[in-house]
Chains A and B, each alone.
Chain A
Amino acid sequence: MSDLSLLVQMGFGALLALSVYLPLRCGQLSLATPGFYVIGGYVAALLSTRWPALSGAGTGYPLTSLALELVVAALVAAAVALVLGRPVLQLRGIYLAIATIALVEILRVLNLNLAWSGGAVGIFGIPQPFAGPGGYALATWVLLALVCWLCARLEAMRLGRAMAAIRDDELAARCMGIPSADVKLTAFVISAVIAALTGVLAAHFLNTWNARQGGFDASITTLAFVVFGGSRIWLGPVLGGLVITALPELLRPVGDLRLILFGLVILLGPILFPQGLITPERLARLQQTLRRP
């Protein structure tokens, strides 16, 4: 894998981690992210291969068409999340996790068996809006920067505070007038949109899309990003997504040992840093040390 391709994958990892992070920030262990990622990918794959008008006259796939796919994918994911979110988010803790894993699995089985999604083989020959991995890296990291900025702003807004309150004590938050069902649904919808946008870029990047892109193991991997990086401030999942995606590649020189080392990192991370690598307190301390000359 080229270095640029690795950068693209790392960006995807960080984006998916942020998608898992947002519901978790208001205490909701939702593992639906791979489902919305798959939906985004199918929107891109179907629109770009089945709708000739989008392909344009030139050599490359037009960026305007890519932008259109992103908008459609965001709308579809938001609509699905709005409809599913109300009933599903009434579940708590591990029950929510199991229900969302089930949703992802149902979607995977449906996609394996439906004609329009290309069945088990999936959809091939997804056109390329960028000439090489460089373009993808740029697009992915621009999207990542935008989402990071959104999350950072959220933390300064009342929605971010309400999310933190619900995570600490939902009943107390409700008694303070916070409509917790709406807040949780908002986080779920934003989370779905982020995953779907990532799916659009991934489908083009991989050139092919099929049901295997999202499944139970993807749910667990994306959760590991957040557990490893931390779930209390947006920088945590970003770091977790970047590092854990890159790790298998970075460990390539050690040969067969790399899978063992990878497993060790995933195992030791939460043991040594139960709240994840990055917490607001640790960040504040770091800032203080940096400021002191």
Chain B
Amino acid sequence: MQVPSAQATAAASLLALEEVSCRFGGLLALDRVSLQVQPGEIFGLIGPNGAGKTTLFNLISGVGRPTAGSIRWSDGAINGLPPDRINRLGIGRTFQNLRLFQRLSCLENVLIGLHHSARAPLLPALLGQRSFRQSQGELRQRALELLELVDLADTARQPAGSLPYGSQRRLEIARALATAPRLLLLDEPAAGMNPIEKEELSALIRRLRSRFDLTVLVIEHHVPLMMSLCDRLAVLNFGRRIALGTPESVRHDPAVIEAYLGVSA
């Protein structure tokens, strides 16, 4: 996998945020944030709690609207589009606070992600004809493969809500992958995992990137993990982007050391 340089131009970027702001009443959750994500890179977003990272994901995925600025995807503006449209354009996401379909099985959760691959002619479906059953069988097979990829094949029939925390996080990734995204937004995918699980997750994200030609935007608090995982990082603090660059340059950025890393550095 070819990793683009930090100087790559905005024109070639997959996702470009230009001066994006988001205001909640008196709170400016995002303040003129600009950044570009290049195809194929793993782009990290770090910053203290309340910095606006999740808000940024919400704006990109259509869950919220920016109050100013524009979000460009490939070559069109997507701000203001509803979340289902944005997903169809190739942006998949997970949620920091786990939003699985709790009562449904793991398999069904992934099948729901495969909604748009599950299109079938109405009449054979209603009559339960062989052609429909066959296509459903293939669909289940694909869902099972995705579950296997995140190491959840054994729990395919269990309700999603009954899984341990770490497994639920991986199920969210499988469900998002099922929607065939080109860009995957991962909101604290390692939260609640132990150090070994975190390492495995990091390897999984790299594997998924090369297997599905993915671009990944990831939020995570564990800084050493992010330093080794990400090609580039942006640092948010109080809604502002205070640094952007390779892990090495971010690590030595005085503003970052003061605002965020200062504690541990």
User: Does A associate with B in a complex?
Assistant: yes
A interface residues (Cβ-Cβ under 8 A, vs B): 150, 153, 156-158, 161-162, 164-165, 168-169, 171-180
Query: Are the CB atoms of A165 and B104 closer together than 8 Å?
Result: yes
B113 at the interface (CB under 8 A from A): yes
Query: Are the CB atoms of B104 and A175 closer together than 8 Å?
Result: no
Contacts of A172 in B (CB 8 A): 95, 99-101
Query: Are the CB atoms of A176 and B115 closer together than 8 Å?
Result: yes
Query: Are the CB atoms of B112 and A176 closer together than 8 Å?
Result: yes
Contacts of A158 in B (CB 8 A): 111, 115, 118-120
A78 to nearest B CB, angstroms? 15
Query: CA A292 – CA B100 in complex, angstroms?
Result: 34
Write 6 A-B pairs (CB below 8 A) sorted by A numbering. Answer: A157-B120, A164-B101, A171-B83, A174-B62, A174-B83, A177-B116
Q: Nearest residue in B to A232 (C-beta to C-beta)?
A: B103
B interface residues (Cβ-Cβ under 8 A, vs A): 61-63, 82-84, 87-88, 92-93, 95, 99-104, 108, 111-113, 115-116, 118-120, 125-126, 128, 136, 175-176, 178-179
Contacts of A150 in B (CB 8 A): 126
Partner of A162, one of B61, B63, B115: B115
Query: Are the CB atoms of A174 and B82 closer together than 8 Å?
Result: yes
Leading 10 A-B pairs by shortest Cβ distance: A177-B87, A158-B118, A172-B99, A168-B101, A174-B83, A165-B112, A174-B84, A175-B83, A179-B84, A177-B179
Contacts of A173 in B (CB 8 A): 101, 112
Contacts of B101 in A (CB 8 A): 164-165, 168-169, 172-173
Q: Nearest residue in A to B83 (C-beta to C-beta)?
A: A174
Query: Are the CB atoms of A178 and B125 closer together than 8 Å?
Result: no
Contacts of B115 in A (CB 8 A): 158, 161-162, 176-178
Query: Are the CB atoms of B125 and A176 closer together than 8 Å?
Result: no
Q: Nearest residue in B to A180 (C-beta to C-beta)?
A: B84
Sample of 19 further A-B pairs with CB below 8 A, known A153-B126, A153-B128, A165-B104: A153-B125, A156-B136, A157-B120, A158-B115, A162-B112, A164-B101, A164-B112, A168-B101, A168-B103, A169-B100, A169-B101, A172-B95, A174-B62, A175-B62, A176-B112, A177-B113, A177-B115, A178-B112, A180-B84
Query: CA A86 – CA B158 in complex, angstroms?
Result: 35
Q: Nearest residue in B to A162 (C-beta to C-beta)?
A: B115
Q: Nearest residue in A to B89 (C-beta to C-beta)?
A: A177
Contacts of A179 in B (CB 8 A): 84
Query: Are the CB atoms of A176 and B108 closer together than 8 Å?
Result: no
Query: Contacts A157-B120, A162-B112, A164-B104 known; A169 to B99 CB distance under 8 Å?
Result: yes
Contacts of A171 in B (CB 8 A): 63, 83, 99
Contacts of A174 in B (CB 8 A): 62, 82-84, 87
What's the dominant secondary structure at chain A's contact region? helix
Q: Nearest residue in A to B90 (C-beta to C-beta)?
A: A177
Query: CA A157 – CA B61 in complex, angstroms?
Result: 27
Contacts of A161 in B (CB 8 A): 108, 111-112, 115, 118
A117 to nearest B CB, angstroms? 35
Query: CA A171 – CA B100 in complex, angstroms?
Result: 11
A193 to nearest B CB, angstroms? 15
B110 to nearest A CB, angstroms? 10
Q: Nearest residue in A to B159 (C-beta to C-beta)?
A: A281
Contacts of A153 in B (CB 8 A): 125-126, 128
B211 to nearest A CB, angstroms? 20
Contacts of B113 in A (CB 8 A): 176-177
Residue from the set A165, A169, A171, A177 with the largest chain B CB neighbour count within 10 Å: A177
Query: Are the CB atoms of B179 and A176 closer together than 8 Å?
Result: yes
B172 to nearest A CB, angstroms? 9
Query: CA A158 – CA B87 in complex, angstroms?
Result: 17
Query: CA A177 – CA B61 in complex, angstroms?
Result: 11
Contacts of B61 in A (CB 8 A): 175
B14 to nearest A CB, angstroms? 18
Query: CA A135 – CA B101 in complex, angstroms?
Result: 45
A168 to nearest B CB, angstroms? 4
Query: CA A156 – CA B122 in complex, angstroms?
Result: 12
Partner of B125, one of A157, A164, A175: A157
A219 to nearest B CB, angstroms? 27
Contacts of A169 in B (CB 8 A): 99-101
B90 to nearest A CB, angstroms? 10
Query: CA A171 – CA B84 in complex, angstroms?
Result: 9
Query: CA A178 – CA B113 in complex, angstroms?
Result: 8
Contacts of B125 in A (CB 8 A): 153, 156-157
Contacts of B108 in A (CB 8 A): 161, 164
Q: Nearest residue in B to A150 (C-beta to C-beta)?
A: B126
Query: Are the CB atoms of A176 and B88 closer together than 8 Å?
Result: no
Q: Nearest residue in A to B93 (C-beta to C-beta)?
A: A175
Q: Nearest residue in B to A149 (C-beta to C-beta)?
A: B126
Query: Are the CB atoms of B84 and A178 closer together than 8 Å?
Result: yes
Query: Are the CB atoms of A168 and B102 closer together than 8 Å?
Result: yes
Q: Nearest residue in B to A175 (C-beta to C-beta)?
A: B83
